[in-house]
Structure 1
Amino acid sequence: MTLDPAKPNAAKVDITIPVSKVVTASAGLTGHLLRAGKDGGEADFFGPAPADAKFVSTNVVANGTSAKITGNLTLNGVTKPVILDATFSGAGANPFNKKPTIGFHGTTTIKRSEFGVTYGIPVVSDEVKLDISVAFEKTS
C-alpha cells in the first residue's frame, strides 16, 4: 500500500492473497477447497496448486475514516472489477518489531461463478462475502 495521510484519495493498494494457503475452521473443508478434481476432471474449487489471487486498486474515495476502494480482483485466473468498503482500524508501532503499522477492515461481495468457481451452485451459494482485515507495515 502507498498512502500519504494528507492525500488519502491518492492511495494505491496492491495485495496478493496466497490461495494455496487457505485454511478454514474445518480440515475437511480446507482439503476439499484445495484438492484436484475427481478422476482427472476440473477441481471442485481451486485445485492443489492454485494461483495466488490479487487485488490492485484503480481508485480510492476516502470519507473520514472510511473509503470506497475500486480495483481489479484476479481469482482463479479471471480478473473482474470490485469495490471494497474499507474502514480505518488504527495506526501505531507494531509491538513486536516497533515498525509503524496501519490497519484496515474491508468487505465486498462477489459471485464466485464470475471467477470460474461453480462447484455446488445453487446448493452452495454463488455469492461470497469477503471480510478482510489487513495491517500494513512501513518499509522505508
Structure 2
Amino acid sequence: MKTSLFAAAATAAALTATNAAAAPEAYTLQPSHSQVMFTYDHLGYSTTYNMFAGWEGQIMFDKEDPANSSVEVSIPLSSLYTGWEARFEHFMKDEFFGAEDGDMVTFKSTSIEVTDDDEAIITGDLTMNGITKSVQLETELNMEGQHPMEDKPWIGFDAETTIKRSDFGVGAYAPNISDELDVEISIEAGKDE
C-alpha cells in the first residue's frame, strides 16, 4: 500500500510542534525520467501527441509541511519531440514560436495547496514564447523513499493541467486545431548531497 506522505507529514508536524521546523530540502530533477506530454485535437480527426524532455530544475521539498515546498524548472524549447520532423520545424517558425537557440519554457511555483493525503494543487508562473501566465497543476506524489539504484532519497510526482496555447501567442489555426492543450507531467528528483 502506498505510504501517505502528506498525512504522515501532518502527523509528524503535530508531534514535533515544539521542535524547530525543518527547512525544505533540495532535490534535483532527473532529466532521464522527467517529461511533459501535451495533446491537442487535430480537426476532429485525431489526437496529436508531443513531448518535451531535457528538464533542468530543483524541488525544495518540505516533508513536514508540503505546502512550504517549491519547484522551479526550465525546459529547452529545442527538446520538443513531435515524432515528425516537419511538424517540429513548423512549430519553430514565426507562425508559432519563432524559436531561437537557447529559448526555454520555464515554470516557477508561487503556492502549493495540499488537497489530500498525497495530492496538491501547485500554482505557478509558466513562461513560454516570452509570455508568462499563472497555471495550476493538479499534482500527485507517486513515491518518496530511498532509490534502490542511486542509494539516496528520491521523489516522484505526476501532474496534469490544461492550458490555452493562444494565451502564449501560439494559437495558429484555432479553433479548428484545438486551442486547449491537455498537459501531463511526470518527474523524478534526487536529493542533493
TM-score (norm 1): 0.86
- Give the counterpart letter for 1:17 in structure 2: I
Deviating 4+ runs (over 4 angstroms): none
Question: Displacement of 1:78 after TM fit?
Answer: 0.4
Q: Which residue of 2 aligns with 1:22?
A: 80
**In the alignment, structure 1 residue 44 sits paired with structure 2 residue 95:** yes
Counterpart of 1:9? 67
User: Hey, what does 1:40 align to over in structure 2?
Assistant: none
TM-score, reference length from structure 2? 0.64
Greater alpha carbon shift after TM alignment, 81-90 vs 24-33? 24-33
Q: Quote the RMSD (CA, aligned, Å).
A: 1.6
In the alignment of these two chains, the number of paired residues is 133
Q: How does 1:35-114 map onto structure 2 within 5 Å? A: 36=93, 43-49=94-100, 51-62=103-114, 63-114=116-167
Structure 1 residue 18 displacement after superposition: 1.5
Higher strand share: 2
Following superposition, the deviation at residue 5 of structure 1 comes to: 0.9
Change (3 A) 1:25 1:98: farther
Moved more, 43-52 or 102-111: 43-52
Note the C-alpha offset of 1:45.
2.0
The percentage of aligned residue pairs carrying the same residue is 37
* Structure whose alpha-carbon radius of gyration is higher: 2
Residue ranges of structure 2 left out of the alignment (5+ in a row): 1-58
20-29 or 80-89, which moves further after superposition? 20-29
In structure 2, the residue matched to 1:138 is: 191
Structure-2 separation of matches of 1:123 and 1:61:
35
Residue aligning to 1:31: 89
How far residue 94 of structure 1 moved from its aligned partner, in angstroms, is 3.8
Q: Which residue among 173, 178, 185 is the counterpart of 1:125?
A: 178
- Distance in 1 (alpha carbons) for counterparts of 2:149 and 2:77: 27
Tell me the secondary structure at the aligned position of residue 28 of structure 1.
Answer: helix
Q: Distance in 2 between matches of 1:22 and 1:30?
A: 7
Structure 1 gap ranges (5+): 37-42
Structure-2 separation of matches of 1:12 and 1:4: 9
**Separation in structure 2 between the aligned mates of residue 121 and residue 32 of structure 1, nearest angstrom:** 15
Q: Which amino acid aligns with 2:98?
A: G
